[in-house]
Structure 1
């Protein structure tokens, strides 16, 4: 058992999965910062504000995921080279069109949701209520974001 009473091997697998999630959050965060900075066109004001709200939320989640890795006894990755190597989300650069930015954000959320559901299942099997709670909250809020963003571009 580790220091919080979880099986060492299960905790190790969760740490690895959370670190992968962290890498994906970092790439999505940087993409959304780019959308915020570079958006142009008739939807500028509403999307500029939306992207700022979104990257602020993602930044909070980045910190929470990294702290969960630490709580489980791991060390979170903290270099962009590691994030780029690990992340399924790729850099989305040179984008200025609002609908392209929103589509990029939706694709990022879809990746996060898939990763989080997989981790949620593993955390539940390991009786890791802390990780389950964290991921459940993320999934619920991101599913709503996907619905709203999908409605926006429909």
Structure 2
């Protein structure tokens, strides 16, 4: 078995790089959706949601950087064009969403899809002893599960 500088299987790391690039693409879509929600939200909850969406897109921007840096750490190249993002995206693209409940539902749906991708990566990197990627996925999952719970609580009114 050929090993990389981190002591991980090169073959398995290449698989992780591909999956991380898919996650990166989906996070870029999520980020852009959040920017659109931040800009376009209307109604009586504008002030609260405008701030919340900014908080979420700032967090996703940090995660995007972490994912890209992990790809580089594993010896890959993070994809970085809008064409590649769209080719690898599975999230709904939110366009002209200004209603609060529609915006929150888009976030819930997006995070649910991101969790699916992250859990696949988590399982595979666990099997391959890739603790760096595994720990990152675990952290993302924990935060996103809490955000989904909060968004569902908000929707209950």
Fold in common (TM above 0.5): yes
The offset of 1:147, in angstroms, is 0.2
Partners of 2:93 and 2:77 in 1: how far apart?
A: 24
Partners of 1:132 and 1:78 in 2: how far apart?
A: 23
24-33 or 83-92: bigger deviation: 83-92
TM-score, normalising length from structure 2?
Answer: 0.97
- What residue is the counterpart of 2:115 in the other structure? 113
Partners of 1:98 and 1:149 in 2: how far apart?
A: 11
The 3-state SS of whatever aligns with 1:139 is: helix
Partners of 1:140 and 1:94 in 2: how far apart?
A: 30
Give deviations 1:58-116, integer Å, cap 9, x for gaps: 00000000000000000000001110111101321111101100100110000110100
Task: Identify unmatched segments of 5+ residues in structure 1.
Answer: none
1:7 aligns with 2:6: no
Report how many residues are paired.
Answer: 154
Give deviations 1:34-70, integer Å, cap 9, x for gaps: 0000000011011000000000000000000000000
Partners of 1:93 and 1:81 in 2: how far apart?
A: 18
Q: Is the 8 A contact 1:39 1:47 kept in 2?
A: yes
Task: Identify unmatched segments of 5+ residues in structure 2.
Answer: none
Q: Which of residues 18, 21, 27 in structure 2 aligns to 1:19? A: 21
1:89 aligns with 2:91: yes
Q: Which of residues 129, 132, 135 in structure 2 aligns to 1:130? A: 132
1:64 aligns with 2:63: no
Q: Is the 8 A contact 1:84 1:90 kept in 2?
A: no
TM-score, normalising length from structure 1?
Answer: 0.99
The 3-state SS of whatever aligns with 2:24 is: helix
RMSD across aligned C-alpha pairs, in angstroms?
0.5
Moved segments of 4+, more than 4 Å: none
